[in-house]
């Protein structure tokens, strides 16, 4: 049996200490250990107040973990993360900017903690089947790895917990490889291989805030006050999924990982520590964006009265760059000046596997993968492209103009402010959403 501790968060430091002791991990920490903490810092928006609830690992628990390690004599502690965009040459990197915004940089002076940017560090190639995956070398050299994901659902992988959090340790080429077009060797398959490559010593799922329809700021956060901890990664994820209201066996990457390690896909090999009923802690969290019964567009388009657009649901081939740009497409259509009229029969394709269908007046191909695959497709009448990886924002504005989608004036500037103007406003005047959890002072 594998122990998983679940406690209600109530007090800084003490709640984390309690859950770590309950799962039996505290005695495994040696004072001379080189320790790496892998939080989930999935995005950062500079100069706007964006919702971090359920999106990022709380700074409260990160600092609590550092303090707990130091109480056991550990002095070599690193926080390690690989944010997409940090690989670019400009300084400071996105991770450095996020660390300043969250106050994580204060941990350097306060406790001597190092912050390692995966995208600017070295990688080690690990063979997986007939391919190699490039994994951050620091994490492989660590004596003790603390994996600190957030309790959230995910519109591609159903949940984003401990296993999914490890994807942030890979280089960009490996991450793109995970988003395969092969229906059998796909994102879920590759994720299921990660526990065999990086085996965390301790997984702590931060559920102070949970996130529905994550993993980004467009999801809906809930104050949950839950911490889940286990020395066993797969067990932690099985319990996290159950708390979110999803059977572990129904989540492909968790089920594949369990089977690959000779484990059960349910909770029959897990011992829950803590006086909680994990099936009644939260209301079930949705993970999938609903599509209209026609399959032609999401329900939030039909609810907004959108007509004349074909926009299919997100699939597993869409990489992080593409998923981030997805929101530009959505907001462009929802805020278009002519959204109350029927658009001029526009098919919008993104990701790597979507294909044009005959009979549409215009087909917009978003991103280099789509352009490479479909720009010469015989089903296309009028091809309009949005180049780049990530897709270029000015190309999108030009493409919309070409197919008569009338974006509002200053659309790109507005999108830069939308994390605060659109997404943050749902949490205003709700005291349970406390920004201090995401700022070390």
**Confidence at residue 151, expressed as pLDDT on a 0 to 100 scale:** 98
Sequence length of the chain is 441
**Confidence at residue 222, expressed as pLDDT on a 0 to 100 scale:** 98
pLDDT tens, position by position, 182-206: 888 999 999 999 999 999 999 999 9
pLDDT tens, position by position, 388-438: 999 999 999 999 999 999 999 999 999 999 999 999 999 999 999 999 999
**Confidence at residue 393, expressed as pLDDT on a 0 to 100 scale:** 97
Question: Where in the chain are the domains?
Answer: 2-287, 299-424
Q: How confident is the model at residue 249 (pLDDT cuts 50, 70, 90)?
A: very high
Cα angle 346-352-353, degrees, rounded to a multiple of 5: 75
Per-residue pLDDT at 166 exceeds 90: yes
**Confidence at residue 320, expressed as pLDDT on a 0 to 100 scale:** 86
Q: What is the average pLDDT across 248-260? A: 98
**Confidence at residue 321, expressed as pLDDT on a 0 to 100 scale:** 82
**Confidence at residue 398, expressed as pLDDT on a 0 to 100 scale:** 98
pLDDT tens, position by position, 216-247: 999 999 999 999 999 999 999 999 999 999 99
pLDDT tens, position by position, 329-351: 999 999 999 999 999 999 999 99
CATH class of 2-287: alpha beta
Q: What is the average pLDDT across 157-162? A: 98
pLDDT tens, position by position, 293-307: 999 999 999 999 999
Per-residue pLDDT at 121 exceeds 90: yes
Give the position of tokens 């609590």. 64
Q: What is the average pLDDT across 61-77? A: 97
Per-residue pLDDT at 91 exceeds 90: no
């Amino acid at each position: 049996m594998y122990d998983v501790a679940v406690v209600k968060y109530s007090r800084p430091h003490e709640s984390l200490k309690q859950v770590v002791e309950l799962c039996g991990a505290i005695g495994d920490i040696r004072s001379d250990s080189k320790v790496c903490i892998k939080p989930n810092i999935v995005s950062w928006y500079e100069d706007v107040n964006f919702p971090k609830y359920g999106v990022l690992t709380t700074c409260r628990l990160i600092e609590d973990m550092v303090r707990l390690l130091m109480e056991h004599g550990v002095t070599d502690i690193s926080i390690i993360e690989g944010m997409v965009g940090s690989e670019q040459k400009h300084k400071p990197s996105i991770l450095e900017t996020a660390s300043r915004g969250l106050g994580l940089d204060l941990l350097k002076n306060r406790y001597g903690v190092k912050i390692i940017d995966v995208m600017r560090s070295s990688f080690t190639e690990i063979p997986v089947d007939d391919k190699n995956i490039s994994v951050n070398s620091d994490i492989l050299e660590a004596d003790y790895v603390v994996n600190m994901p957030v309790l959230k659902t995910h519109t591609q992988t159903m949940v984003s917990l401990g296993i999914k959090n490890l994807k942030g340790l890979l280089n960009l080429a490996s991450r793109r490889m995970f988003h395969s077009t092969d229906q059998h060797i796909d994102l879920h398959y590759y994720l299921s291989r990660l526990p065999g490559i990086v085996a965390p010593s301790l997984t702590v799922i931060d559920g102070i805030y949970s996130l529905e329809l994550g993993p980004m700021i467009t999801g809906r956060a809930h104050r949950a006050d839950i911490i889940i901890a286990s020395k066993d990664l797969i067990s932690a994820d099985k319990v996290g999924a159950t708390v979110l209201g999803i059977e572990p066996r129904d989540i492909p990457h968790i089920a594949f990982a369990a089977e690959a390690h000779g484990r059960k896909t349910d909770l029959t090999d897990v011992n829950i520590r803590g006086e909680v009923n994990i099936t009644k802690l939260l209301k079930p969290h949705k993970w999938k964006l609903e599509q209209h019964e026609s399959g032609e567009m999401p329900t939030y388009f039909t609810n907004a009265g959108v007509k004349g657009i074909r926009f299919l649901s997100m699939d597993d081939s869409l990489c992080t760059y593409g998923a981030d740009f997805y929101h530009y497409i959505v907001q462009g259509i929802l805020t278009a000046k002519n959204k109350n009229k029927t658009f001029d029969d526009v098919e919008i394709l993104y990701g790597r596997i979507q294909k044009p269908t005959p009979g549409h007046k215009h087909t917009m191909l978003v991103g280099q993968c789509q352009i490479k695959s479909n720009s010469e497709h015989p089903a296309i009448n009028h091809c309009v492209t949005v180049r780049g990886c990530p897709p270029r924002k000015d190309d999108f504005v030009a493409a919309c103009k070409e197919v008569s989608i009338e974006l509002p004036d200053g659309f790109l500037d507005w999108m830069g402010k939308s994390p605060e103007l659109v997404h943050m406003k749902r949490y205003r005047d709700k005291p349970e959403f406390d920004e201090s959890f995401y700022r070390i002072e």
